[in-house]
Amino acid sequence: MDKRRGILVVSFGTSYEDTRKKTIGAIEDAVQKAYPHIPVYAAWTSRIIITRLLETTGEKIHNVSEALAQMKKDGISQVFIQTTHMINGIEYGSLKKEAAVWEDSFDKITFGKPLLSTTEDMKELIRIIADEFSKILNCENASKTALVLMGHGTKHHSNTSYAALDYMLKEMGYQNIHIGTVESYPSLAQVIPRLKNTSIKTVHLAPLMIVAGDHASNDMAGSSKDSWASQLTSAGYDVICHLKGLGEYPDIHHLFLMHLAEILK
């Protein structure tokens, strides 16, 4: 065991236990399997979810500072932080700011990139999504079927990643795959007009998020009139929801591992 080096996997977090095991837990396991001789630690950036979990289940999840304190205590001198965040946005910036306080406590603190950091990352994600939904995209009624992906969205300028990804989808020939976000642009309000004046009859909804948690279960697939499923149904479409986070895809694990490998060289 290389006790000088340590890997810290940092996620936003989720209070949904089932998706946590399949996504965040699966990514952490993939990292440990890839680097069996390096100790792997975990932390979440959402203090709200950390607090909620502690209050409801009694489980204590470390935030970034707490995880780094434990690594220091364990004798780690070189820290390699791999985020599972989608984009280089507010959460990733907060992570780096929090870790910067610990710079003098370690010989090295290095950061792996979020999932969508380069054009090649986006192309790879499109390939993964196309493979995952190949039966839908190539079905007998493919011309009447659309796939709408729900991203989180942010006020941070990195939100442009979602629009770029949508543009790239169209450029690569996936005219019936659309991207919207819960909290920014493009929203479902921009997606629905794109579906109009087409032959689309059925819309498949899936989260463009690492976990299929609260947003996927409620904002996307919920029964309220404001959910994406309800709005699309009201707009006249047959709606099918897929509650599977990106973190469940082995190829997504591989993409994160590629980012981690870049800083472990």
Residues labelled as active-site residues: 152
254 closest CA partner among 153, 126, 115: 115
3-state SS of 192-252?
HHHHCCCCCCEEEEEECCCCCCHHHHHHHCCCCCCCHHHHHHHCCCEEEECCCCHHHCHHH
Let me know: does 231 contact 223? Beta carbons within 8 Å. Answer: no
Let me know: does 93 contact 142? Beta carbons within 8 Å. Answer: no
Let me know: does 101 contact 65? Beta carbons within 8 Å. Answer: yes
Cα(72)–Cα(66) distance, integer angstroms: 10
Let me know: does 121 contact 199? Beta carbons within 8 Å. Answer: no
List Cα–Cα distances, 73 to 8, 16, 35, 77, 194, in angstroms. Answer: 14, 30, 21, 10, 54
Give yes or no for a cis peptide into 36 (omega within 30° of 0).
Answer: no
**Is the backbone of residue 17 left (phi > 0), alpha (psi -120 to 50) or beta?**
alpha
